[in-house]
């Protein structure tokens, strides 16, 4: 069976359920809409039987008795588990929480889609209570309709929480100039939260408060509020990080000694909290603030060794504001990893610490941190990544490194089980350093690791072996394919087959096809780029011809890909987002090819299409 997540218990009966019938539900408007096309009219349900339970029923008769809720669903932590019973006289879904009824309806529809019919019982529940998905808007602004579709996908995958990082795509009020021209309107936010509420998905807004504030500090009006106002002296004019010294990004952090900086940040935070009245939590970010204690005012106030004192002061100030609004603050953990026990004791214990570690090899560190923060009195959650900065390998600019991503999920599933954590969040990062960096792989390349996270959160003993075959069948509705094994040519061939045969999620299949081809382009472009120097040297014409032929092949692939990539992005994002993505993938290569073609021994300029002439 290809269902994701896989149900805990299932029994099949040799019969068929009615296609239509009398219907009833007390699980909210989403469930009502799902039942409506099958309904012959309202169904009378015994109120005493339904006491304390939520249900969705389709019955061949105008009255029905609810079955008993199985004992397996009556224990603590199984509130949103569900019981699905489908017999010849009707279908019934029971749960202790309306979210469980939604999950049961998803499961029934998935079984029908896979098998054409379903008659039997399903008893299902999650092994983790916190099943979260994160999405940021650093690069890319999905249209509201697309975000509503994403919420539907998350519900079908049994995610219960959506950690939403707006960046500058939020309709700020007092500081409206911070909002990007393309941002969600208050009406958009209402629709997003209404859809989430129907699906019983809790939205946690994430509003950065000290670092990762490039979208704010890059604006001239707010640039003076930055922490990094003078570059420190360095032992050499270069560092070993691929992106240079951390202080090169002088628009990352606000100055924690300037009340005018806090006035802006707190105003932005207040706007976000006010727009999410139903959210119990607010994530304050507070990660990767590498340049703290860089300005003279901060060093004078907190001391030359006062980085931790500065950070404690900031977290407690922001936490107090969130708590005063009746919400619970969450922060990322990385800046706290070097704190002493005495320093941790100075932080408000009501702050939830979310440990982000994105590789399977981080297991020992994650375990040590979880134990240490919990021993200090904090609630701890984990965070894995569906895509992130994978390093210098060029192919992973366009496709996530799936093997590492699934290993990361495995690690957090194991750790949650061993340490009794409530669960983890599957993060999806759009780029690696705020609004100033090029985009990571396009969003819709992430569904494979995201659905493995859904599987692992629901079924802690799930294994990654064979999951890509299940994914191809469950997500695309095709015969099972080992999609992501083998060399690039074999992977591409299998993805093409899925594109041709996909019964659902055809857009996402096309995204995989185009981005897999873009990864091949990336490697070919890098390879020929190392040979371009020959065109400006005194080498034989035969050697230059080989280079030009390779350039022509890469240029031809580029010109085939550019409109496809643009079309993919523009489907659900703005034209400006599509322009950024296309230029980030092709512009440097085009410029380099044009430069070397001009000095390639023939004195000819590269044509506008980027292809070398004379072949």
φ, ψ (nearest 5 deg) of residue 211? -115, 180
The pLDDT value recorded for residue 181 is 95
Question: Which residues make Cβ contacts (< 8 Å) with residue 110, sequence separation at least 6?
Answer: 3, 156, 474
Question: Which residues make Cβ contacts (< 8 Å) with residue 23, sequence separation at least 6?
Answer: 35, 36, 38, 39, 40, 41, 42, 43, 56, 57, 58, 59
Return d(Cα 160, Cα 146) in angstroms, integer: 19
* Predicted confidence (pLDDT) per residue in 47-87, tens digit: 777 788 999 999 999 988 899 999 999 999 999 999 999 99
Assess whether pLDDT exceeds 70 at residue 613.
no
Assess whether pLDDT exceeds 70 at residue 436.
no
* Predicted confidence (pLDDT) per residue in 224-261, tens digit: 999 998 887 788 888 777 677 777 889 999 999 999 99
* Predicted confidence (pLDDT) per residue in 292-326, tens digit: 999 999 999 999 999 999 999 999 999 999 999 99
pLDDT confidence tier of residue 146, bands split at 50, 70 and 90: very high
pLDDT confidence tier of residue 604, bands split at 50, 70 and 90: very low
- Omega before residue 464 within 30° of 0, cis: no
pLDDT confidence tier of residue 102, bands split at 50, 70 and 90: very high
Assess whether pLDDT exceeds 90 at residue 487.
no
The pLDDT value recorded for residue 612 is 44
SS3 116: coil
The pLDDT value recorded for residue 606 is 43
Virtual torsion, Cα 580, 582, 587, 589, nearest 10 deg: 140
Assess whether pLDDT exceeds 80 at residue 605.
no
SS3 162: strand
pLDDT confidence tier of residue 392, bands split at 50, 70 and 90: low
The pLDDT value recorded for residue 235 is 83
Return d(Cα 75, Cα 73) in angstroms, integer: 6
Assess whether pLDDT exceeds 60 at residue 98.
yes
Assess whether pLDDT exceeds 50 at residue 614.
no
**Segment 24-44 mean pLDDT:** 96
**Segment 263-274 mean pLDDT:** 98
The pLDDT value recorded for residue 126 is 98
* Predicted confidence (pLDDT) per residue in 195-227, tens digit: 999 999 999 999 999 999 999 999 999 999 999
């Amino acid at each position: 069976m290809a269902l994701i997540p896989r149900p805990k218990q299932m029994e099949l009966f040799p019969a068929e359920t009615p296609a239509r019938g009398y219907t009833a539900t007390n699980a909210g408007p989403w469930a009502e809409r799902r039942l409506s096309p099958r309904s012959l009219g309202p169904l009378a349900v015994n109120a005493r039987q339904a006491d304390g339970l939520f249900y969705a029923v389709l019955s061949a008769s105008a009255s029905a008795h609810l079955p008993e809720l199985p004992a397996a669903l009556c224990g603590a932590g199984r509130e949103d588990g569900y019981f699905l019973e489908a017999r010849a006289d009707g279908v019934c879904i029971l749960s202790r929480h309306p979210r469980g009824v939604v999950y049961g309806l998803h499961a029934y529809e998935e079984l029908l889609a896979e098998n054409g019919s379903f008659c039997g019982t399903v008893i299902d529940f999650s092994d983790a209570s916190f099943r979260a998905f994160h999405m940021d808007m650093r690069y890319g602004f999905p249209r509201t309709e697309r975000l509503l579709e994403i919420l539907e996908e998350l519900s079908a995958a049994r995610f219960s929480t959506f950690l939403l990082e707006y960046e500058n795509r939020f309709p700020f009020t007092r500081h409206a100039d911070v909002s990007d021209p393309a941002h969600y309107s208050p009406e958009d936010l209402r629709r997003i939260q209404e859809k989430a509420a129907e699906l019983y998905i809790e939205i946690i807004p994430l509003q950065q408060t000290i670092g990762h504030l490039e979208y704010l500090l890059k604006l001239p009006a707010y640039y003076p509020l930055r922490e990094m106002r003078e570059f420190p002296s360095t032992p050499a004019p270069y560092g070993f990080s691929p992106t240079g010294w951390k202080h090169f990004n002088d628009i990352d952090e606000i100055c924690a000694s300037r009340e005018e900086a806090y006035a802006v940040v707190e105003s932005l935070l207040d706007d976000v909290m006010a727009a999410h009245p139903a959210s119990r939590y607010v994530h304050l970010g507070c990660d990767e603030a590498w340049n703290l204690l860089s300005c003279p005012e901060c060093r004078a106030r907190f001391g030359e060794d006062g980085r931790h004192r500065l950070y404690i002061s900031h977290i407690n100030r922001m936490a107090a504001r969130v708590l005063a609004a009746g919400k619970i603050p969450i922060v990322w953990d990385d800046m706290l990893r070097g704190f002493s026990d005495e320093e941790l004791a100075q932080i408000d214990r009501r702050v939830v610490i979310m440990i982000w570690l994105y590789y399977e090899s981080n297991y020992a560190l994650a375990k040590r941190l979880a134990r240490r923060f919990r021993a200090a009195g904090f609630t701890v959650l984990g965070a894995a990544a569906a895509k992130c900065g994978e390093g210098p390998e060029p192919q992973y600019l366009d496709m996530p490194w799936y093997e590492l991503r699934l290993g990361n999920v495995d690690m957090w599933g194991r750790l949650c089980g061993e340490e009794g954590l409530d669960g983890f969040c599957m993060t999806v990062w759009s780029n690696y350093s705020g609004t100033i960096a090029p985009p990571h792989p396009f969003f819709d390349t992430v569904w494979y690791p995201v659905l493995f996270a859904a599987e692992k959160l629901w079924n802690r003993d799930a294994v990654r072996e064979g999951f890509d075959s299940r994914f191809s069948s469950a997500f695309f509705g095709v015969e099972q394919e080992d999609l992501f094994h083998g060399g690039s040519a074999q992977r591409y061939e299998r993805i093409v087959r899925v594109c041709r045969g996909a019964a659902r999620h055809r857009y996402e299949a096309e995204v995989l096809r185009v981005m897999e081809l873009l990864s091949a382009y990336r490697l070919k472009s890098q390879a020929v780029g190392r040979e371009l120097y020959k065109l400006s040297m005194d080498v034989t014409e035969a050697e230059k011809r080989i280079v030009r032929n390779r350039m022509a092949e890469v240029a031809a692939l580029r010109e085939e890909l550019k409109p496809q990539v643009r079309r993919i992005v523009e489907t659900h994002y703005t034209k400006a987002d599509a322009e950024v993505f296309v230029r980030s993938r092709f512009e440097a290569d085009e410029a380099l090819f044009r430069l070397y073609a001009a000095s390639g021994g023939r004195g000819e300029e590269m044509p506008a299409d980027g292809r070398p002439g004379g072949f």
